[in-house]
Structure 1
Amino acid sequence: MTTHAPRPYGPSVRARTVPPALREFAYWLHRYRRTWRGTVVLNVANPLLFLTGIGAGLGTLVNDNNSAALEGLSYLAFLTPGLLAASATQTAFMDSADPVHQSVQAKGHYWAANATPLSPVDIFHGHVLFNVFKVALSATAFTAVAVAFGAVDAARAPLAVLATLLVGAAFAAPSAAWAVTTRRQSTVLAVLRFGVMPMFMFSGTFFPLSQLPGWLQPVMQATPLWHGVELCRTAALGTGTAGGTAVHIGYLVALMAVGLLAGRRTYQRHLHS
């Protein structure tokens, strides 16, 4: 008579081999399955409206005046990479800060996840990974529309997406690391209104920094979004130098690393049971 070995209790071998952070990522991905259609529409509709209304519409006025500040570029070609970086910044911040703030509240998702074998660091890494994944989707959709408009060369589109992905990761990690410490949603909204939005407007997205007052230019050059805009713009246009590209990448990688290190500490402190 043939006998079968008893099946071991506990997680399967396959489950044990999955990195814990990917289980947290899978949770957010499962939630995203219910809303992804609306998100994709926004990711295509928003760049389409921006590029049509501002790039092709308002841009004709800039082109007619032959603005020397654009160094011979059309306004559409100048604007598009800046919008890529700025959109990645907004996506990374809003998808990190507010969901993290909601998840750490009483009866929020983090406390349910924290009751499983997942550690606070696993929860942090998995959530940041999902936010970077959403930035990648948004950047790909935006770049595809830009290529269709002729605003980005198809051969340079992958570089533009990679640069945008780095911008998103550089904002997602520190945003989540900070948001887990907040107790009021008004704090998140205040940072969005008085921190992220001014960078969106004055970090070279819509016009060169040379158009700003002299004292404000070095202030904006110290912001992470300016480095992101410059990296995306030089990647899309092929105008980067080795030194400048290294500075921009180094700045954003350092910001991401600081965010990851800070997040390990803040998540352990605030989710420790």
Structure 2
Amino acid sequence: MTTLTSTRPPVPAATPSRTLAMIERNFMIYRRSLTPLLSAMVEPVLYLVSIGIGVGMLIGDVAGVHVRYPAWVAPAILATTAMNTAFNQTSFGVFSRIRAERTYEAILPTPVSVTDIACAEVASAVINAVLTSIGFVVVMAVAGLVTSPAVLLAIPASILVGFAFAAGGLAVTTFLRDFADFQYIQLVMLPMYLFATTFYPLSTYPAPLRPVIEVLPLYQSIQLIREPALGAAGWSQLLSVAYLAAFGVAAMWIAVRRMTRIMLS
């Protein structure tokens, strides 16, 4: 009697020591050049200066909030900084190591597992997201855009935002076939950046569209950082925490299984 067995490779468990070794490997490479970290700061600062401060001179205070427009926009740009830093590292960076550089093919014969690799890539991306977030908070302080000491909560918040988008980037990367497919990612990321209340309040949207905006992960990220930064932290932030944690865990689950199938099958 023939027994049917699954050909799907098993998903290995993560080992903390091996994951830490992979993180150390990543940062040994990063320390050779600060260019990627510094470049991640350039774009958000340009948006802050051009739109936050430039357009803010024409707008004045944000209606219903009584906060200067640059101070209102800055926390949202901070959230997008954490998002972009984490997402870019686990999307383009990991795709290059899978398809072009074949880095993981040289690593997998060692005791390091696919899960170790996935966890290390996400953790490395989160660390970089936190570093760029700290840098942007410093920029906000120098520019006089800090309105509440609670802006310091943006640092731990950036850990969660970084985790959600790093895991999301890793999951998306496993579905890409070649570098040309990255243009489809931009078709999602750029509109989300523009419309997730980064530059104008949710109240500007027609009522039927507001629930659509509220389910965007970047909207939840902005809410998690903007409210404390403006001194308006409340229980509503717990919803954003739960949303981003669930989003990150689900994306991580997909990423590990897809990477295992791609690299071990």
TM-score class normalised by the smaller sequence: 0.7 to 0.9
Letter in 1 for 2:18: P
C-alpha distance after superposition, 1:3-49 (max 9, x if no partner): xxxxxxxxxxxxxx97101111122112111221x234335544443
Structure 2 residue runs without a partner (length 5+): 1-14
Q: Contact 1:202–1:209 (CA<8 Å) still a contact in 2? A: no
What SS does structure 1 have at the residue aligned with 2:207? coil
| Mapping 1:48-197, distance limit 5 Å | 48-63=45-60, 66-68=61-63, 70-105=64-99, 107-153=101-147, 155-191=149-185, 193-197=186-190
- Give the alignment of 1:9-28 within 5 angstroms: 19-28=17-26
Distance 1:176 1:62, change over 3 A: same
Matching residue's letter, 1:245? Q
Structure 2 counterpart of 1:264: 256
Aligned length: 251
Q: Distance in 1 between matches of 2:40 and 2:87?
A: 16
* C-alpha deviation, 1:188, in angstroms: 2.4
User: CA–CA distance in 1 between the matches of 2:74 and 2:206?
Assistant: 24
Return the letter of the residue paired with 2:23. F
Give the deviation of 1:110 after TM superposition.
1.3
Whether the aligned pair in 2 keeps the contact of 1:147 and 1:153 (CA below 8 Å) is no
Moved more, 134-143 or 19-28: 19-28
Is it true that 1:234 corresponds to 2:232 in the alignment? Answer: no
Q: Alignment identity in percent?
A: 30
Q: Is the contact made by 1:88 and 1:167 (CA closer than 8 Å) also made in structure 2? A: yes
**Displacement after TM superposition at 1:153 (Å):** 4.4
Specify whether residues 55 and 185 from structure 1 end up closer, same or farther in structure 2 by C-alpha distance, changes over 3 A only: same
Counterpart amino acid of residue 112 in structure 1? A
Deviation at residue 102 of structure 1 after TM alignment: 1.3
Mapped contact 1:90–1:196 kept (Cα < 8 A) = no
Q: Secondary structure at the match of 2:163?
A: helix
- Closer, same or farther in 2 for the Cα pair 1:109/1:136, shift >3 Å? same
Answer with 92-101 or 17-26: which moved more. Answer: 17-26
**Aligned residue for 1:5?**
none
Q: TM-score of the superposition, structure 2-length normalised?
A: 0.88
Partner SS state of residue 105, structure 1 = helix
Query: How far did 1:67 drift?
Result: 4.6
Q: CA RMSD in A?
A: 2.0
Q: TM-score, normalised by structure 1?
A: 0.85
Larger Rg: 1
Give the aligned residue type for 1:54: I
User: SS at the partner of 2:126?
Assistant: helix
In 2: Cα distance, 1:158 partner to 1:140 partner = 9
Q: CA deviation at 1:175?
A: 1.4
Counterparts of 2:258 and 2:232 in 1: how far apart (Å)? 39
Unaligned runs of 5+ in 1: 1-16
CA–CA distance in structure 1, aligned partners of residues 223 and 255 of structure 2: 27
